[in-house]
Amino acid sequence: MQNGRRRVASASMTDRLPTGTRAGYAMGSLATGAFGTVPGLLLLPYLTDDLGVTAGVAGLLVLGPKAWDVLVNPLAGRMSDRTQSRWGPRRPYLLFGGVAMAVLFAAIFAAPVSGPAAAAWCATAFLLTATAFAFFQVPYVAMPAEMTRDYGERTRLMTWRVAVLAVAILVSGAVAPMVVTWGGDGLAGHRWMGGFVALLIAVGAVGAFLGTRAASSASSVQSEPSLRAQLSVAAANGPFRVLLVVFVVQTVGIATMLAGVNYLAEHVLRRPDDGPTFLFACFVGPAILVMPLWTRLGRRLGKRRALVVASGLLTAGALAMSAAGSVPPAVVYLTVTLAGVGYAGQQVFALAMLPDCIAYDDARTGRRQAGVFTGLWTAGETLGLALGPGVFALVLAVGDYRSATSGVEVVQPDSARTAILLGFTVVPALLIGPVTALLSRYRLTEAALAEALRETTGHAAPQAERLG
């Protein structure tokens, strides 16, 4: 066992969690879902079509603040690992980080100017919001590894979380564009939308803080002496490396698709008013209905194989949507639904496998450092969510998409419509599908993890050692 105090799970930690605790923890997905969805969906068209920012510059503005979190998230994880309070090591961040994120989010869509000054305003507000989000999300994602030791219970907990995440994405993604329209379109509509989403974020953050008050947590702090040493430990965790790469690349593909929803509805389907709402409802709605099916499939196939199946469905749905524009909109919505079923499973199993990697690290090193792993995980996820709109903006620029200011109508060339279609279908499929092959190198099964966790000295069992 390595020197230093080992973090010991509290005596109150149980394998099965009360329904209230699952529901309370899941509430946090209202905040993560809203922030992860709305900027990728509405910020790019807000910049290009209302504030007159060129597509290339707008893409950089969407990417930059979130890319900043690649640096901030590991620091947020280290801080939450070392925090001690009467509320536990993680929960204070849920409250204060979440409320700050809500206030700052509203400021993003309240730009009082246009042109270059608007670009500076949005970049600054987005940077601050992304920082607040890091200090909320990293501790939030770290909590499941400390709330239960049960392999299957982590899947159940993530099922609750992803179900609420689906509701958050559906509400924020489908209703937010409607709020823009109800508010008068243009700048005024976006201000109303920013306030609506900020309220959703605040409800989720406060709900997660209150709902997890009975959750177990670590009773003492044990971590490597420096952030560099912690990152080295994470890099040595073979299953985590594989899962992180797969998840981040797939997140880029999903975010690329989400960034194109408004553009596809307006320029390809010719349904700018209700198109975005229908597309979002078809993509996210299935997650609420198919969660029990994914849970059963996960028990039968295992998490890794179930993730491969889900990724395949998501890829197939994205490719099938390439027929949009030449088939009736109803057919497009059906293919989006297929992709949505795959998306639900992809989220559940990737998130359920992350706590397994953290538990494996605890057995392998004798130290529990959930914040460091979730800091890297959320940094990668945030970067993926930022890269997606950037990728889509690049495709738009190549297709000669023409920007405009609010109230000015611009006729787009055929090349722009082709770029929109490719950016919404083929490009995401190429990002989501091929990287799934890396999961063949992920060998952290339930049996291997159980063997590793039997060791109480901090050294992994022989089979688990081979996993690294």
The pLDDT of residue 308 is 96
380 pLDDT more than 70? yes
The pLDDT of residue 463 is 40
Looking at domain 19-211+226-467, its CATH superfamily turns out to be MFS general substrate transporter like domains (1.20.1250.20)
Q: Kindly state the percentage of the chain with pLDDT values over 70.
A: 84
Q: Find residue 9's DSSP bridge partners.
A: 218
The pLDDT of residue 222 is 54
**HEC letters along 269-330:** CCCCCCHHHHHHHHHHHHHHHHHHHHHHHHHHHCHHHHHHHHHHHHHHHHHHHHHECCECHH
27 pLDDT more than 50? yes
The pLDDT of residue 464 is 37
The pLDDT of residue 230 is 62
The pLDDT of residue 458 is 45
| Contacts of 434 by beta carbon, 8 Å cutoff, 6+ apart | none
At 158-208, the pLDDT tens digits run 888 888 888 888 788 778 888 888 877 678 888 899 999 999 999 999 999
The pLDDT of residue 409 is 67
Distance, CA of 195 to CA of 189 (rounded, Å): 10
Based on the number of CB atoms within 10 Å of its own CB, is 402 exposed (0-12), middle (13-18) or buried (19 or more)?
A: middle
Mean pLDDT of the chain: 80
The pLDDT of residue 202 is 95
This prediction's pTM: 0.73
462 pLDDT more than 70? no
**What would the mean pLDDT of 275-285 be, rounded to a whole number?**
79
The pLDDT of residue 277 is 74
Type of residue numbered 427: V
How far, rounded to the nearest angstrom, does the alpha carbon of residue 184 sit from its chain's CA centroid? 30
User: Residue 226: which pLDDT band, with cuts at 50, 70 and 90?
Assistant: low
| Highest mean pLDDT: which range of 22-26, 160-164, 249-253, 255-259 | 249-253
Query: Would you give the end-to-end CA distance of the chain in angstroms?
Result: 18
Q: Cα separations (Å) of 50 from 33, 46, 115, 120, 157?
A: 24, 5, 9, 15, 41
The pLDDT of residue 438 is 95
The pLDDT of residue 10 is 39
224 pLDDT more than 60? no
Q: Phi/psi at 168 (nearest 5 deg)? A: -65, -45
**What would the mean pLDDT of 88-102 be, rounded to a whole number?**
88
Q: Phi/psi at 220 (nearest 5 deg)? A: -145, 160
**What would the mean pLDDT of 356-370 be, rounded to a whole number?**
76
Distance, CA of 47 to CA of 197 (rounded, Å): 18
The pLDDT of residue 227 is 58
User: Residue 1: which pLDDT band, with cuts at 50, 70 and 90?
Assistant: very low
Question: Residue 412 is encoded by which pair of tokens?
Answer: 């787009």
Question: Residue 107 is encoded by which pair of tokens?
Answer: 């400021």
At 56-68, the pLDDT tens digits run 778 777 777 767 8
The pLDDT of residue 405 is 56
Burial annotation 435-465 (CB, 10 A radius, 16+ → b, else e): bbeebeebebbeebbebbbebeeebbbeebe
Distance, CA of 245 to CA of 341 (rounded, Å): 22
The pLDDT of residue 357 is 87
147 pLDDT more than 80? no
The pLDDT of residue 100 is 96
pLDDT higher at 449 or 415: 415
**What would the mean pLDDT of 275-297 be, rounded to a whole number?**
81
Query: For residue 5, which of 220, 309, 194, 234 has the smallest C-alpha distance?
Result: 220
**What would the mean pLDDT of 203-214 be, rounded to a whole number?**
89
